[in-house]
């Protein structure tokens, strides 16, 4: 872990399953690799260290702080470096802009970085008092404040329940709406007060992190993290060369389910309903699952970095389309 200074704050982030990711990506020195979630360039640095001056590395992040610190950290490597402020869903546009047809490997380490969490001003954490922001992309207009003070009850309830899997979602949403009738909820601590006030006192007394699920839910909504994920995974897969690998790290079950389902479809091909006796869609497998089950951090990593405990890594390799095999 290295700490560089970004806008007066150290950019600290411990990369999850670093060795596993690098080994699964099978980096070729002259290859082309992309990191769709550059963050503090932890994984990216390990990839770039394996690339020669003929290799190309593309790093994408929608957080401007992440890009600025990564530019500095990666400048010592000899490969060609392309860093773009973009949403990873738009990876095809990024590659097209740089006239790159396909890549040999893509890594996506989803979610927020520790820097984003631990930088109180960004409003991601219930541990610091700050304006309700939570934007990964500082140029985006929608903030957590707009959601908390603008969304109608039903929508707030659904988000907190589905994205946060919070059992008190109904009361929390009801109390948010009630509270803002007097005065808008402007800060993280004001929101924590409403959340904790929606739970039985005895339950709140059992721990400090009772606002975590609601904060996770709001963060997912602010950053549209789940809606675009399926499309993003398809775009990543489309961008791979034959033999190229896609590695995705997820941090909660909702994300993992999307990745697992997409990978299964790439590796199965056929999308006919189960009850069809024979396949009529004619789709062939386009990928080979490298990790049949998700890889999780070793015990030592989980102990050293508690943020890694919910991480799951899945890897798929793009294969030659069946109709091409045997024609050469
Ligand atoms: C977990 S961190 C990545 C850390 C990185 N692997 C490292 O080792 O330093 C996730 C990063 O992905 C970025 N991110 C999340 N969703 C994104 C999206 N849709 N498009 C681009 N970047 C995204 C976040 O801003 C954050 O910097």
Q: What is the pLDDT of residues 274-298, one digit of tens each?
A: 899 888 888 899 999 999 999 999 9
Instruction: Please give the structure tokens belonging to residue 50.
Output: 């394996």
Say what the pLDDT of residue 279 is: 87
Four-residue CA torsion sign, 193, 198, 202, 207: negative
Helix axes 229-238, 253-268, angle to 10 degrees: 40
Distance 322 CA to ligand 1 centre (A): 34
- The neighbour count for residue 321, using CB atoms within 10 Å, is 12
Distance 110 CA to ligand 1 centre (A): 6
List, in sequence order, every beta strand (DSSP E) within the chain.
4-6, 9-11, 32-35, 56-61, 80-85, 103-109, 240-250, 287-289, 312-318
Ligand 1 atom, smallest distance to 45 CA: 8
Least confident among 97-101, 198-202, 208-212: 208-212
Residue 69's nearest CA partner among 6, 117, 113, 115 is 6
Distance 268 CA to ligand 1 centre (A): 29
Residue nearest atom 20 of ligand 1, based on CA coordinates: 87
Residue nearest atom 2 of ligand 1, based on CA coordinates: 113
Least confident among 106-110, 199-203, 293-297: 199-203
Contact of 92 with 68, CB cutoff 8 Å: no
Four-residue CA torsion sign, 248, 93, 324, 271: positive
Q: Is the CB of 256 under 6 A from ligand 1?
A: no
Q: Three-state SS for 256? A: helix
Q: Is the CB of 66 under 6 A from ligand 1?
A: yes
Ligand 1 atom, smallest distance to 14 CA: 8
The angle at the Cα of 285, spanning 281 to 288, to the nearest 5 degrees, equals 160
Residue nearest atom 7 of ligand 1, based on CA coordinates: 42
Mutation probe of ligand 1 site: the residue of 44, 62, 311 with most atoms within 8 A of C-beta = 62
How do residues 11-65 score in pLDDT, each as one tens digit? Answer: 677 899 999 999 999 999 999 999 999 999 999 999 999 999 999 999 999 999 9
| Pairing assessment for the beta strands 9-11 and 4-6 based on DSSP bridges | antiparallel
Please count the CA atoms within 13 angstroms of the CA of 96 that sit on its side-chain side.
6
Distance 87 CA to ligand 1 centre (A): 10
- The neighbour count for residue 117, using CB atoms within 10 Å, is 18
29: left (phi over 0), alpha (psi -120 to 50) or beta: alpha
Contact of 77 with 53, CB cutoff 8 Å: no
How do residues 256-274 score in pLDDT, each as one tens digit? Answer: 999 999 999 999 988 888 8
């Amino acid at each position: 872990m290295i700490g560089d200074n970004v806008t007066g704050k150290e950019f600290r982030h411990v990369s999850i399953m670093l060795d596993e990711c690098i080994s699964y990506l099978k980096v070729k020195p002259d290859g082309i690799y992309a990191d769709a979630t550059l963050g503090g360039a932890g994984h990216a640095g390990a990839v770039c260290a394996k690339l020669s001056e003929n290799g190309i590395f593309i790093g994408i992040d929608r957080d401007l702080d992440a890009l600025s610190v990564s530019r500095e950290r990666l400048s010592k490597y000899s490969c060609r470096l392309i860093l773009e402020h973009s949403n990873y869903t738009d990876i095809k546009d990024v590659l097209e802009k740089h006239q790159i047809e396909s890549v040999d490997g893509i890594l996506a380490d989803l979610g927020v970085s520790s820097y984003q969490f631990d930088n109180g001003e960004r409003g991601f954490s219930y541990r610091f008092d700050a304006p309700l922001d939570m934007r990964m992309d500082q140029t985006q207009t929608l903030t957590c404040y707009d959601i908390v003070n603008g969304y109608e009850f039903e929508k707030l309830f659904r988000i907190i329940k589905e994205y946060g899997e919070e059992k008190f979602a109904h009361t929390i949403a009801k109390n948010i709406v009630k509270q803002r009738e007097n005065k808008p909820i402007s800060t993280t601590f004001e929101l924590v007060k409403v959340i904790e006030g929606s739970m039985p006192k005895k339950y709140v007394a059992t721990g400090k992190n009772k606002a975590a699920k609601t904060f996770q839910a709001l963060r997912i909504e602010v950053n549209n993290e789940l809606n675009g994920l399926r499309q993003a995974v398809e775009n990543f897969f489309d961008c791979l060369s034959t033999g190229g690998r896609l590695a995705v790290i997820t941090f909660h079950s909702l994300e993992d389910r999307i990745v697992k389902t997409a990978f299964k479809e790439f590796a199965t091909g056929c999308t006919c309903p189960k009850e069809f006796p024979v396949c009529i869609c004619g789709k062939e497998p386009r990928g080979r699952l490298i990790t049949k089950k998700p890889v999780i951090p070793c015990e030592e990593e989980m102990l050293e970095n508690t943020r890694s405990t919910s991480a799951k890594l899945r890897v798929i390799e793009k294969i030659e389309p069946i109709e091409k095999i045997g024609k050469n």
